[in-house]
Structure 1
């Protein structure tokens, strides 16, 4: 098998797995922060239990997500040395900032939060998780700054076949990065809110005795999922004008997202001819299957909007807690955002092919000079490790979600509440 194809598959597998962890991390963080704030400022013990329960799931996903991120870094260095040589001077700075934020600041704040239960003042302890949330989103921004350069290279000049940063502010305000950031934030909040609502609905199907607990959780989750399911579509459409300008071939391939005034004019053949004239002979069209991925993504987004709005309606008079049919509908909101986000990532990344840095560095030029055997061995090894991490993550999350809040392990012992005992907890 071709070494370049193997390297691309390896990149898709490692980044794709890591993206699923990141999506849930970004989505759960604001909800846990909100729940803890409600407890600190309102004194309601139910929200403390909610913080412990959902925070425990957050910690599991975060820890294993960090492991998948390390795997991704290894394959990046192994398979894409050409990209590092060409663009390392440009996006080395944002990637370094992401490392400082995610692996140092965010992890430090989270560690203090985990082991600070009962030891730190409540307000300080709450602020720690708000810092965790802020640094998580800052980390996502720095990653998208680097990724945005690959889609729309700005603020640099090429000397001797190497890109050098000349305008850091242009890179930070790259429209491709900023629009993608808002889209990713919206998608993550839908995924996190939908996860919390779906798990709560699952507990109602099981006829849980923790009805007030999971009703409050479902309200918080759907309060995010419902409005941001609409925001995902809106922020997606806002990316079309800058995308059409920066990557005309992608919008030509995705005929459904062309600007109305450009329909029927910029076809794949026309853009191909223009790029061949400007850049030399070559096939500059992305794989045709991304149009199918785009269609499925848009269909999934439609169902997310419908289910989240139905779920919000089911909260009226606590129908969600009393009707198995209503709860079954809301459970569907758990997997669909992850499917849609994965397809969206494929459309974004595969849609820029055959470019690693659009218009400047081909994927074939970005690859390391490793042979097919090395690529295949590393693909099998990384895929096996990522599969094991993903299965471990999903099994632990499913276990905690199924057990409910009575056996939460996160934190320190707390007094019993009218809603039920809080078991001594540990980590």
Structure 2
């Protein structure tokens, strides 16, 4: 039976602790996912670029691996910090969730942290420092394992989220949920289409970031025109695959959601975000199919400079669609945190006040704001400098030559003055 709602604590007239806690979680989760989307999308593209280098020996594929790999690493490193900020909230604001369903909800999160995240970080470290030190095929295997563990991490996160949408494989004992069927947990009908939808959204995000950066250099007619023409081709094909996967899985995910949460997409609170998200997804798919893909022939997309500012301007759309998709999925479940089992109000930490949440909200907003700006500055700087100034994979100095200790710092943050 659903738990009964408790009184909401507040810290003053007109201030609601529950609303502030929801706002805080929405802010931190959305910002963190924007980092995750680019990381998930870039990982397989970098792995494919390195595979082409190992198979063909072509230097341009190594340059592409190093340049786009550095963009990936910057986003990954800063994204980890945003994830740590987000994790704090489970203990701060939502201890009721841990008490009632920690044995179930915490299982996939623990697997994501211990198996996927730590393994991914270890493998990535070996890949970063293994350039020119380990055999090429072993080095290539590392980036593919990094990609595999990244998507394994996304899988466990979506298992946990799908449980909140459709709590299966559990029963309530002594006021707490107990996992009775692990197979039902990972076979959740909400997971079947939501996971491909997230994967597609990540590919779209990475593709349009690559399109924007490539268009920037092609518009400026930099010396690396062949490099960014090839990158543009890769990104357009990825955008085509990603938009089709996102749109198809997104539409199909509506059916299991309607079966388990009737009327979810008719709620006024998500009507606008939901249909705006669908509109952006459909528009990006049609633009990929009808405009970008045909213009790849004879490299017209790379040569038509008048089109490049438009391609650069498209970069916010995948991010906006990701935020709107999260709002549609999460807000439409209200007032339930675990649908039919636990209300959001009951998951709030007992005794917490609006003043306490407001203080942490301001603190988190400042930290996350700094991280977002830092990520943008570092990625924009690396993108602007292009593939001729990359720290990742820099060959070791020739024997007898003094090492240039400042080279990695210059490549990462750029020359000043």
Give, in whole Å, the separation in 2 of the partners of 1:176 and 1:2.
31
The answer on whether the counterparts of 1:319 and 1:326 sit within 8 Å (CA) in structure 2 is no
2:269 to 261, 283, 289: 289
Q: Does 1:94 align with 2:108?
A: yes
Residue 341 of structure 1 is matched in structure 2 by 322
1:244 to 254, 258, 262: 258
Provide Cα deviations, 1:247-273, integer angstroms capped at 9, x if missing partner. 1130343xxxxxxxxxxxxxxxxxxxx
Provide Cα deviations, 1:169-189, integer angstroms capped at 9, x if missing partner. 000110112211011011111
Give, in whole Å, the separation in 1 of the partners of 2:302 and 2:339.
50
1:363 to 344, 347, 372: 344
Q: Does 1:402 align with 2:384?
A: yes
The answer on whether the counterparts of 1:204 and 1:321 sit within 8 Å (CA) in structure 2 is yes
Provide Cα deviations, 1:329-385, integer angstroms capped at 9, x if missing partner. 322332211110110011001110110000110000011121111000000001110
Provide Cα deviations, 1:265-302, integer angstroms capped at 9, x if missing partner. xxxxxxxxxxxxxxxxxxxxxxx231111121122112
The answer on whether the counterparts of 2:215 and 2:312 sit within 8 Å (CA) in structure 1 is yes
Residue 298 of structure 1 is matched in structure 2 by 278
The answer on whether the counterparts of 1:307 and 1:329 sit within 8 Å (CA) in structure 2 is no
Deviation at 1:222, TM superposition (A): 1.1
1:252-331 correspondence runs (5 A) = 252-253=266-267, 288-309=268-289, 310-331=291-312
TM-score for the superposition, normalised by structure 2: 0.90
Q: Rate the CA distance shift 1:425–1:137 in 2: closer, same or farther, 3 A.
A: farther
Provide Cα deviations, 1:308-341, integer angstroms capped at 9, x if missing partner. 2322222211112221222223223322111101
Range with greater deviation from structure 2 (294-303 or 29-38): 294-303
The answer on whether the counterparts of 2:265 and 2:274 sit within 8 Å (CA) in structure 1 is no
Residue 137 of structure 1 is matched in structure 2 by 151
Residue 61 of structure 1 is matched in structure 2 by 75
Give, in whole Å, the separation in 2 of the partners of 1:375 and 1:152.
28
Residue 151 of structure 1 is matched in structure 2 by 165
Residue 62 of structure 2 is matched in structure 1 by 48
Give, in whole Å, the separation in 2 of the partners of 1:344 and 1:392.
25
Aligned length: 385
Give, in whole Å, the separation in 1 of the partners of 2:126 and 2:158.
27
Q: Does 1:413 align with 2:395?
A: yes
Give, in whole Å, the separation in 1 of the partners of 2:343 and 2:221.
56
Question: Helix, strand or coil for the counterpart of 1:147?
Answer: helix
Residue 281 of structure 1 is matched in structure 2 by none
Give, in whole Å, the separation in 1 of the partners of 2:57 and 2:313.
33
2:39 to 14, 19, 25: 25
The answer on whether the counterparts of 1:311 and 1:330 sit within 8 Å (CA) in structure 2 is no
Q: Rate the CA distance shift 1:250–1:351 in 2: closer, same or farther, 3 A.
A: same
Provide Cα deviations, 1:146-199, integer angstroms capped at 9, x if missing partner. 111000000000112210000000001101122110110111111111211221
Question: Helix, strand or coil for the counterpart of 2:340?
Answer: coil
The answer on whether the counterparts of 1:194 and 1:308 sit within 8 Å (CA) in structure 2 is no
Unpaired runs of 5+ residues, structure 1, are: 254-287, 416-423
Deviation at 1:425, TM superposition (A): 6.1
Range with greater deviation from structure 2 (307-316 or 5-14): 307-316
Question: Helix, strand or coil for the counterpart of 1:163?
Answer: strand
Deviation at 1:306, TM superposition (A): 3.0
TM-score for the superposition, normalised by structure 1: 0.88
Give, in whole Å, the separation in 2 of the partners of 1:349 and 1:235.
17
Provide Cα deviations, 1:6-48, integer angstroms capped at 9, x if missing partner. 0000000111110000000000001000000000011110000
Residue 357 of structure 2 is matched in structure 1 by 375
The answer on whether the counterparts of 2:90 and 2:98 sit within 8 Å (CA) in structure 1 is no
Residue 7 of structure 2 is matched in structure 1 by none
Residue 93 of structure 2 is matched in structure 1 by 79
Give, in whole Å, the separation in 1 of the partners of 2:201 and 2:282.
13
Question: Helix, strand or coil for the counterpart of 2:172?
Answer: strand
Question: Helix, strand or coil for the counterpart of 1:297?
Answer: helix
2:247 to 203, 218, 233: 233
Unpaired runs of 5+ residues, structure 2, are: 1-14, 398-405, 410-417
Give, in whole Å, the separation in 1 of the partners of 2:122 and 2:283.
38
Deviation at 1:205, TM superposition (A): 1.2
Provide Cα deviations, 1:198-257, integer angstroms capped at 9, x if missing partner. 21011111111111100111111111101221221110111122111111130343xxxx
